[in-house]
Amino acid sequence: MEASSAAAAALMGGVDYAVFAGMLGVSAAIGVYYGFCAPASSADEYLMGGRSMKTFPIAMSLIASFVSGVTLLGMATEAYLYGIQFSYVCLGLIISSIVNALAFLPVFYDLHITSTYEYLDMRFGKSVRILGSFFFIINMVTWIPIVIYLPAIALNQVTGVDLRVISPVVCIVCIFYTCLGGIRAVVWTDVVQSLVMFGSVLVVIIKGTVDVGGLAVVWSRNVESGRIEPPLLDVDPRVRMALPSLLVGGLMQYLYNAGVNQIMVQRYLALPTLTKANIAVWIFTAGAASLILLSTYSGLLIFARYFDCDPLTTKVARAKDQLLPLMVAESLGGLPGMTGVFVAGIFSAALSSMSTALNSMAAVVFEDFFKTFFPRRQLSERQAGILMKAVVVVLGSICTALVFVVDRLGSAVLQMSMSLSSMTNGPSLALFTAGMFFPWIHTKGALAGGLTSVAVMSWLILGGQAYQASGDIRFATKPLSTAGCRYAFDRVHNGSVAVAVDYQNSDVWSGYRVSPMWYTMIGWTIMLVVSLLVSLVVRPGEEEPRPGANLFSPLVRRWLPVDPLEKSYKTVEMRIISTEEERRKLKDVD
């Protein structure tokens, strides 16, 4: 194994680099085409594709946006260490898609908006709009470096691909085609990259299954170790993965990620009709669930290969996210180009996530910040295009630089950055829930609820992460063994990484052990409760927006008050904005 590990450093041969370079070249070529041969003629064209995109490419872009290299590596590690419990989150994903199609998507579609945070302006005013936009930008700027860094460092340590070379190359290519081609280039590169993702995962699974002796061997070894098991029916929120947390927590998490997140909604709204957007939602759901299940199986496959010689304990894999690249290095290393396919697949996931995030941030900066702070400044189409491209370049460059900051500062900043999304996901989802479902929540209530929720979630999440990093909180893993290792390793200092039972230092507050699956739900609940209480106690401002019925979910419109003499913050105009011309007029007035 030591020899095998050493050989891994030189595993990327000429054919592998050619395959990887080919994926980058195709992505760049698409950007050149849409930048010079079919350039966007307006801001709406650059950000929304003229709202005339096709369903299939948008659906594939949604899948690519949803799945990152962190996801592919992380879910395989999850199954290796903890079993298949997380895969039951697919049920929560399906439920969230139903809720999204019925409750949220019709509202966004009726308003003909570009940024989801325009909705918050219409419903609550500019202050809430800026708050939601700020949450999104901070989330993306701290998330993108992780999306690039984790696949790069994992592959660096098992294939020899230099982090300091590959990270800027990947980022520059991504910034290039996103800047030039706008959403059309992003969507079509996402199509290519999602196909590469699926292809690379399937290649790894098929070859790996053959290597260990077939599907029956994979199944039996994982059943015997307890990794394949029915869903755990436990309502204790401190249980790391159980069916209630996966259903409820998964519903809320994916409702944010796929229901109100600017990255996803911007693509739904690039389609010409709501019917096509709903079709895209269901294609996305099927594709995302498939990748979750395939990645889970790859984790079971890793265990079937190393069931009697755990590479984490022996330090052949120096980090958990290196398990899948290690298996690829040993399984596909003798086949020219196959390692390159896997590397291209992992970085395709990273590229698609970064490009969609940059394009969405350009939309948010232009629509929510520039137009809000400079309402009287009218830009020509050329000036607007230059501004949005500059945003892509500047924010892309910042994210590229932060990759090296993460590398130098190590795991502490890494854990903190990965936790930031959980701090804002629940409050952000609750802002839209409050707007669409609770007519009596006003601006002051929404602001108080959002800020309170972020503060409480920051305290809860950072506290839990700190105790986990120090070892004061540990979660039980499935059994790991080194009984069959055929190579020497330091058995004295290399103790098993397996944890027999959940552990918590007696000095640690039990609330810090709450499963991360509940974070979005907790943040959502805190925001709504505080918003409702403040809205009942504090009077609304004199300039409180008077929301029309089109700002509320179709599920509650029939219950809205229609009496014009109602109190101002409960008044609802029942006229639905339904025609294209009315939507455009509403946006222009705003």
Q: Can you give the pLDDT at residue 45?
A: 86
Say how far residue 32 (Cα) sits from the centre of its chain.
27
pLDDT reading at 225 higher than 70: yes
- Percentage of the chain surpassing pLDDT 70? 89
More confident position, 413 or 547: 547
Beta pairing class for 503-504 and 473-474: antiparallel
pLDDT reading at 544 higher than 80: no
- For the residues of 319-353, what is the DSSP string, one character each? SGGGHHHHHHHHHHTTSTTHHHHHHHHHHHHHHHH
Q: How many CB atoms lie within 10 A of CB 410?
A: 9
pLDDT reading at 583 higher than 90: no
Phi, psi of 378 (to 5 degrees): -95, 120
More confident position, 541 or 416: 541
Instruction: Determine, yes or no, domain membership for 560.
Output: yes
Work out the pLDDT band at 2, boundaries 50, 70, 90: very low
Q: How far is the CA of 230 from the CAs of 147, 243, 301, 337, 505, in angstroms?
A: 31, 9, 19, 38, 30
CB 564 within 8 A of CB 575: no
Mean predicted lDDT score pLDDT of the chain: 83
Mean pLDDT to the nearest integer, 493-502: 72
Q: Can you give the pLDDT at residue 355?
A: 87
Mean pLDDT to the nearest integer, 207-218: 93
pLDDT reading at 321 higher than 50: yes
pLDDT reading at 84 higher than 50: yes
More confident position, 457 or 68: 457
Instruction: Determine, yes or no, domain membership for 436.
Output: yes
Mean pLDDT to the nearest integer, 201-230: 92
pLDDT reading at 463 higher than 90: no
Q: How far is the CA of 364 from the CAs of 138, 253, 265, in angstroms?
A: 12, 21, 12
Instruction: Determine, yes or no, domain membership for 490.
Output: no
Q: Can you give the pLDDT at residue 571?
A: 39
pLDDT reading at 44 higher than 80: yes
Q: Which residues contact 371 (CB under 8 A, 6 or more apart)?
A: none
CB 325 within 8 A of CB 201: no
pLDDT reading at 462 higher than 90: no
Instruction: Determine, yes or no, domain membership for 458.
Output: yes
pLDDT reading at 27 higher than 90: no
List b or e across 328-362, with b for residues whose CB sees 16 or more CB atoms inside 10 angstroms. bbbbbbeeebbbbbbbbbbbbbbbbbbbbbbbbbb
pLDDT reading at 10 higher than 50: no
Work out the pLDDT band at 586, boundaries 50, 70, 90: very low
- 84-88, 196-200, 353-357, 504-508: which has the highest mean pLDDT? 84-88
- 20-29, 145-154, 161-170, 486-495: which has the highest mean pLDDT? 20-29
- Long-range Cβ pairs for the range 382-391 (8 Å, 24+): 384/42, 384/43, 384/46, 385/40, 385/43, 385/46, 388/43, 388/46, 388/47, 388/182, 388/362, 388/363, 389/179, 389/180, 389/362, 391/361, 391/362, 391/365, 391/366
Query: What CA–CA distance (Å, rounded) separates 296 from 245?
Result: 18
- Closest to 575 measured CA to CA, from 533, 546, 555: 546
Sign of CA dihedral 109, 110, 113, 118: negative
What domain count does the chain have?
A: 1
Mean pLDDT to the nearest integer, 43-71: 85
Instruction: Determine, yes or no, domain membership for 38.
Output: yes
Mean pLDDT to the nearest integer, 434-456: 93
The type of residue at 393 is: V
Structure token pair of residue 215: 């599907």
Q: Can you give the pLDDT at residue 119?
A: 93
Instruction: Determine, yes or no, domain membership for 288.
Output: yes
Q: Which residues contact 523 (CB under 8 A, 6 or more apart)?
A: 422, 423, 424, 425, 426, 427, 429, 430, 453, 454, 456, 457
pLDDT tens per residue, range 356-412: 889 899 889 988 888 888 877 888 888 888 889 999 999 999 988 888 887 776 554
pLDDT reading at 531 higher than 70: yes
The CATH number of residue 210's host domain is 1.20.1730.10
Of 395-399, 438-442, 500-504, give the lowest mean pLDDT range: 500-504
Alpha helix positions (H), 83-162: 89-99, 105-111, 117-124, 126-159
Work out the pLDDT band at 82, boundaries 50, 70, 90: very high
Work out the pLDDT band at 545, boundaries 50, 70, 90: confident
Query: What CA–CA distance (Å, rounded) separates 210 from 179?
Result: 43
Residue count of the chain, please give it: 590
- Percentage of the chain surpassing pLDDT 90? 33
More confident position, 442 or 543: 442
Query: What 3-state class would DSSP assign to 503?
Result: strand
Of 72-76, 94-98, 211-215, give the lowest mean pLDDT range: 72-76
Instruction: Determine, yes or no, domain membership for 358.
Output: yes
Helix 274-305 × helix 215-224 angle, to 10°:
80
Domain, as residue range, for 28: 2-483+496-589
Work out the pLDDT band at 534, boundaries 50, 70, 90: very high
Q: Can you give the pLDDT at residue 299?
A: 93
Query: What CA–CA distance (Å, rounded) separates 139 from 144?
Result: 9
Mean pLDDT to the nearest integer, 234-243: 89
More confident position, 286 or 4: 286
- For the residues of 511-573, what is the DSSP string, one character each? GGG--GGGHHHHHHHHHHHHHHHHHHHSPPPTT----BGGGS-TTTGGGS---TTS-GGG--B
pLDDT tens per residue, range 93-138: 999 999 999 999 999 998 888 889 999 999 998 999 999 999 899 8
CB 145 within 8 A of CB 405: yes
- For the residues of 435-497, what is the DSSP string, one character each? HHH-TT--HHHHHHHHHHHHHHHHHHHHHHHHHHHHTSEE--------TT--S---TTT----
pLDDT reading at 279 higher than 50: yes
Structure token pair of residue 444: 């002051």
Q: Can you give the pLDDT at residue 417?
A: 54
Q: Can you give the pLDDT at residue 325?
A: 85
More confident position, 133 or 580: 133
- Closest to 97 measured CA to CA, from 259, 247, 246: 259
- Closest to 520 measured CA to CA, from 387, 582, 430: 430
Q: What share of the chain is helix, strand, coil (3-state, %, to 5)?
A: 75, 0, 25
pLDDT reading at 300 higher than 70: yes
Query: What CA–CA distance (Å, rounded) separates 509 from 464?
Result: 9
pLDDT reading at 413 higher than 80: no
Q: How far is the CA of 281 from the CAs of 61, 191, 264, 286, in angstroms?
A: 11, 15, 10, 9
Largest Cα separation within the chain, whole Å, is 82
